[in-house]
Structure 1
Amino acid sequence: MSSTGQTNGASILLDEYSHNIKIPKIKFTKLFINGHFLHSISGNTFETIDPRTEEVIANIAEGDKDDVDLAVNAARQAFDHGPWPRLPGSERRRIMLKFADLIDENVEELAALDAIDGGKLYKMAKLADIPGAAETIRYFAGAADKIHGATLKMSRALQGYTLREPIGVVGHIIPWNFPSQMFVMKVGPALAAGCTMVVKPAEQTPLSALYYAHLAKLAGIPDGVVNVVTGYGHAAGAAISSHMDIDMVSFTGSTEVGRLVMQAAAQSNLKPVSLELGGKSPFIVFDDVDVDKVADLALQATLYNKGEICVAGTRVFVQEGIYDKFLTKLVEKAKAWVVGDPFDPNVHQGPQVNKKQYERILSFIELGKKEGATLLTGGKPCDRKKGYYIEPTIFTDVDDDMTIAKEEIFGPVMSVMKFKTVEEVIKRANASKYGLATGIMTNNLNIANTVSRSIRAGVIWINCYFAFDRDLPYGGYKMSGFGRDLGMESLSKYLQVKSIATPIYDSPWL
């Protein structure tokens, strides 16, 4: 048993774009439980695949219910008897700040892991995702010593106050599209609150989560506080959702799986859940905008991170006065969009995360054609010998009831639709089972205010898109889930309120 893990000897060959980039050997492939890297109890492993090459990167320990039991027991012991929930907030802050510093010190290796494991652009991971992860940990570290209750003026002769206490052992189930950012969005506030936890990263992208667990130990986070169980959702994820000794579950992923998580939580110990689920976000363009600038933003809203982002603005509504001009600009910009190896600094879009997602996206494209939408550009795999690369795809003549306009594709596929009036576009934008985000593009303040207050979505971006910030709560309406990540508001789901009352003696009013 080792606290530093074992390498399986796998190394990634350098290609023509990465000669100046140090591609790491894979150091951590085992489960991380109670401060140690361990084989799964079954001894089973699964392959994690490089979507650039379709080749195996490493064999990862496949955790299941027995391993989750072991991890939950470690987290329970750490919560009930360990120092972390009992440390002064200032000490938790100090350790979390060290954790953030270690993330910064290992930015290149972490960025490379997310690039080879998930097809993410290396330059974006290095410049944004990983530094952003460190800053998110710092943000919540700043809250660790500022968790306060309230003193209450009671109506009777009582002295009353509240305590805000950590909820206990938390299960985090995170997706594959932003493995680093999702890890810290869940782990950061839970650590600040004084919780202990079991993290189940997506089976498609387990590498960086295991590395973060290693850094957490180096930072001084006590054994058992952060545990990482890699494996499949139907086994490890299901075991976390239904576990009687887990006090709360935070899940980000599909609406379909979110239902299963909620059902399992209800049927076990009625644990609270926080769900950030699917989206089909409208991107609304009014005819008073700069068409060139907004066309570029619309393309980014669909194609950023290969379209593998739940808030992607893939339902693009364009007012009829600029519709034709807008389409011309879109096509021009889409044809200049570079798809290729994510280590190439000139590339805008890397490969889809795996073969299953690649084939799913292509099936939606074929369905769009079959249902009568017009394929304006793209619509097929890129001409490459290996890798899961798909051309940026734009459909026009899309009706609101077409599958590509209703279902979350999670790929580089845009549907462009024409509208006339403010009232019409509000109605059509809201005609979705989802309600995660919306982009509103206009220079008219009255229109911006009217539409932003009328759209049923958790996040509204006016004349911008993907305007995330650590201080801005993020989550959905309707079937996009409930609960919020980021912002101080997200801290509350890892805390519970205890009310305490004491009589004031000798009072005639008691």
Structure 2
Amino acid sequence: MNGIYQVRKPKNEPVRTYEAGSLDRHLLEEALEELKNDFLDIPLIIGGKEIRTGSTKACILPHDHQTSIGHYHQAGQEEVAMAIEAALEAKASWEKMPFQHKASIFLKAAELLSTTWRYKMNAATMLVQSKNPHQAEIDVVCELIDFFKFNVHFMENILRDQALSTKETWNRVEYTGLDGFIYAVSPFNFTSIGGNLACAPALCGNVVLWKPASTAVYSNYMIMKLLEEAGMPKGVINFVPGPSQSITDAVLDHPEFSGFHYTGSTSVFSNIWLEIAKKLPTYRSYPRIVGETGGKNFVFAHHSADIDTLVVALVRGAFEYQGQKCSAAARTYIPESIWPQVKDKLLKMTSQLTYGPIDDFKHFVNAVIDKRSFDRIKGYIEKAQTSSDSELLFGGSCDDKVGYFVEPTIIQSFTPDSATMVQEIFGPVLTVYVYKDEDFIQTLNLCESSSPYALTGAIFAKDRDVLLTMENHLKKAAGNLYINDKPTGAVVGQQPFGGSRASGTNDKAGSKQNLMRWINTRVVKENFSSPTTYEYPFMSE
């Protein structure tokens, strides 16, 4: 029997608070202890089979880097070839599966994540990515549930989008996946991004090779197991952690490569795009390239701004999850007239933040992800401390004896183009540039032009005409602009996320727009009144 099925309109998953004494807190603590005491041997998953190569890397806790809670097997070129073959073998049956059955898999995964998987997934993300309970909850639980539910809703809307027909013709639009397979490469900082990079193309009828970041394999593997329980057919998504360069080289050499879904650094994305371009003659189709990359996100204040809300936005925007968000507040422009008040409140509030391991829930800040990140952030701070163009206002302490801890750091730059004002640091470092009130428009122009990125930004003012001026001057400086709010915390279905320039292709994760990139469209015209002669009326005498 056929039918036109209607998906329930989604609502965003409520964020749980894990306050002391709550059942949620108790169950989360239990899950943390269980995972810490259980060493996990993580295989590749190819065609639904677990593959162990013997070439392993440890899953390290960033806040306690002498502790490993598992290891993962790394794919080589042989395993990549196996994964491509398994994906292409699964493609025909996956494409033929009706939308309602594909949708049911992701809706069930959302329900499982909301209930029986909630605490385990939160605990996994907290441990290997060093997130506090709130940061894990808004990431791997709420955002991933929202991606699953809203993507199904958006896909239903796409399927309902049909061409106009006439009395004589019926025009039908069919939507299928792309030719070949999709390569999804995900970052460490958001577990939910990994799930979406692989699952959004899959929902559209594609098969996927998923290479997670080495520091997030543990939590991303949990998503694969969640999808298996939800009924994902074998081979639709193939899990291939391992060395980025060798895996990518093997993928890009295959003629059936048809799409790249990426979140990560700008330089890596640019290099892979160049490699794809070089190999275009070898591909059966033009690959779709979708990427969200770096950011040097701004907070720009006018002298009419509410100081208390501005300061909270700076502290949360810059220091939540150690500044390791693509959208984190990294540079701020403050007018001279309100700077003394802002400075006092900002330094006082930042001094109240504590940092430490994730299982001590009082900490606002935890560890940065690994040694390489720690060293890079430390290097920026040390250069700013010795530069005549900058002054360290707060923090700067870096300690990696136990974990990779960087103290929340505030730097004042006396020039608008210093390294910490324009270069992406990806750590808990906020740089302040104080401008003269009369240079308001000139400084807006500096904000717009001084960074190659255009991901997120925030503007603060009470005056509506001023807000309009700021919004217009910064129109292309941020793909997501926030008014009187921090530049982080985009919610699926509310603020589709992405930026342009060096920040990516701006295909808005969490929207219908992103799904359209993974779809091939065919239009079918059926004529009910076919002509019986080749002649047109103008030809008659």
Return the TM-score normalized by structure 1: 0.90
Cα deviation for residue 140 of structure 1 reads 1.5
The answer as to whether partners of 1:287 and 1:442 remain within 8 angstroms in 2 is: yes
C-alpha contact 1:278 1:434 (8 A) present in aligned 2: yes
Are the equivalent residues in 2 in contact too, given 1:141–1:188 (CA < 8 A)? no
The equivalent of 1:4 in structure 2 is: none
Q: Does 1:447 align with 2:471?
A: no
Correspondences of 1:401-420 after superposition (within 5 Å): 401-419=417-435, 420=437
2:441 is equivalent to residue 430 of structure 1? no
Q: What is the CA–CA distance in structure 2 between the aligned matches of 1:50 and 1:28, rounded to whole Å?
A: 16
Comparing 54-63 and 126-135, the one that deviates more: 126-135
Q: Distance in 2 between matches of 1:145 and 1:479?
A: 32
What residue is the counterpart of 2:20 in the other structure?
none
Query: Which stretch of the first structure deviates more once superposed, 239-248 or 344-353?
Result: 239-248
1:100 is matched with: 110
What corresponds to 1:10 in structure 2?
Answer: none
What does 1:456-495 align with in structure 2 at a 5 Å threshold? 456=476, 457-465=478-486, 466-471=488-493, 472-482=495-505, 483-495=507-519
Partner of 2:5: none
SS of alignment partner, residue 206 of structure 1: helix
Question: How many Å apart are 1:160 and its aligned residue?
Answer: 4.6
Deviation per residue, 1:466-510 (Å, 9 max, x gap): 241211321111111103211122111111222344565227659
CA contact 2:174–2:521 (8 Å) conserved in 1: yes
In structure 1, what is the equivalent of residue 42 of structure 2? 29
Query: Residue in 1 aligned with 2:531?
Result: 506
In the aligned structure 2, how far is the partner of 1:219 from the partner of 1:230? 22
Over residues 254-276 of structure 1, what are the superposed CA-to-partner deviations in whole Å (9 max), with x where a residue is unaligned? 01101122122222334121111
For 1:5, the equivalent position in structure 2 comes to none
CA displacement at 1:278 relative to structure 2: 0.6
For residues 196 and 20 of structure 1, what CA distance do their matches in structure 2 show? 32
Percent of matched pairs sharing the same residue: 22
Secondary structure of 1:54's aligned partner: strand
Q: How does 1:371-410 map to 2 (within 5 A)?
A: 371-372=387-388, 373-382=390-399, 385-410=401-426
Which of 133, 138, 148 lines up with 1:137 in the alignment? Answer: 148
Which of 269, 273, 292 lines up with 2:308 in the alignment? 292
- 3-state SS in 1 of match to 2:158: coil
CA shift, 1:143, in A, is 3.5
Shift of residue 29 of structure 1? 0.6
Does residue 38 (structure 1) correspond to residue 63 (structure 2)? The answer is: no
- SS of 1:343 mapped into structure 2: coil
Distance (whole Å) between structure 1 residues aligned to residue 484 and residue 317 of structure 2: 12
In 2, distance between residues paired with 1:111 and 1:467?
17
Structure 1 segments (4+ residues) deviating >6 Å: none
Q: Which amino acid aligns with 2:352?
A: A
* Structure-2 separation of matches of 1:467 and 1:450: 24
Is 1:305 aligned with 2:321?
A: yes
Q: How far 1:26 sits from its partner (Å)?
A: 4.2
> Does the Cα contact within 8 Å between 1:284 and 1:318 map onto a contact in 2?
yes
1:62 aligns with 2:64: no
Alignment of 1:363-374 (within 5 A): 363-372=379-388, 373-374=390-391
Q: What is the 5 A alignment of 1:211-360?
A: 211-268=222-279, 269=283, 270-360=286-376
Alignment check: 8 A CA contact 2:125 2:140 kept: no
User: 1:21/1:447 Cα in 2 relative to 1: closer, same or farther (>3 Å)?
Assistant: same
1:60 CA displacement: 1.0
Deviations 1:374-416 (A, max 9, x none): 000111215x741000111101134122111111000001110
Q: Distance in 2 between matches of 1:26 and 1:476?
A: 39
Confirm or deny: 8 A CA contact 2:40 2:70 kept in the other structure: no
- Comparing 57-66 with 302-311, greater Cα deviation is found at 57-66
1:112 pairs with one of 123, 126, 134: 123
Q: Could you say what secondary structure the match of 1:204 adopts? A: helix
Task: Point out the structure with max Rg over C-alpha.
Answer: 2
Gaps in structure 1 of 5+ consecutive residues: 1-16
- Matched letter for residue 377 of structure 1: F
Aligned partner of 1:424: which letter? Q
RMSD: 2.3
- TM-score, normalising length from structure 2? 0.85
Q: 1:123 to 1:469 in 2, by over 3 A?
A: closer
Q: 1:265 to 1:118 in 2, by over 3 A?
A: same
Deviates more, 1:107-116 or 1:386-395: 107-116
Structure-2 change in CA distance of 1:241 and 1:336 (3 Å): farther
